[in-house]
Copies of this chain bind each other. A is one copy, B any other.
């Protein structure tokens, strides 16, 4: 590692690093576009789709939803309200702690979540450009880049 790394690399990254960051910026932009589009096809906002996807995997207390969304708990109330009013999600009591409300996807909610995931064309379009060998390479690079927690995050 270079002696001046920590403070310097951010202000004057080498051209290669900078290009990779820019490419990731493009990936991020496209991913978001696709996600919002897929969500809107189900009359959902991006935030609603994210919460629904999360709850379709596993019923989760409100507070924990907020933590996973990295937002304030008060926001989750409204998002779950809207999902609940459409029958996609329900609030359940937690027998162990009566303060807790566990948000859970309904049957209809799980169906919608599955369709939403299927509608994400991101998997098909850009990755189709790569051969399986290249995809494996890409996967390994991303894994190393993100560290072990990235693998664990996979639903």
A95 within 8 A of B: no
A58 within 8 A of B: no
Q: Find chain B residues with CB under 8 A from A11 CB.
A: 118
- A75: min CB distance to chain B, Å: 14
Q: Find chain B residues with CB under 8 A from A96 CB.
A: none
Residue-wise, chain A 107-138 has the 8 Å CB interface mask toward B (1 for contact) of: 00000001001111111101111101011111
Q: Find chain B residues with CB under 8 A from A153 CB.
A: 22, 26
In the complex, the chain B residue whose C-beta lies closest to that of A144 is B129
Are A130 and B145 also in contact (CB < 8 A) when A20-B139, A32-B28, A33-B70 are? Answer: yes
Closest 10 interchain pairs by CB? Answer: A23-B142, A11-B118, A10-B118, A126-B145, A21-B123, A22-B154, A28-B31, A26-B150, A13-B123, A138-B141
Binding site for B on A (CB under 8 A): 3, 5-6, 8-11, 13, 16-28, 30-33, 70, 114, 117-124, 126-130, 132, 134-139, 141-147, 150, 153-155
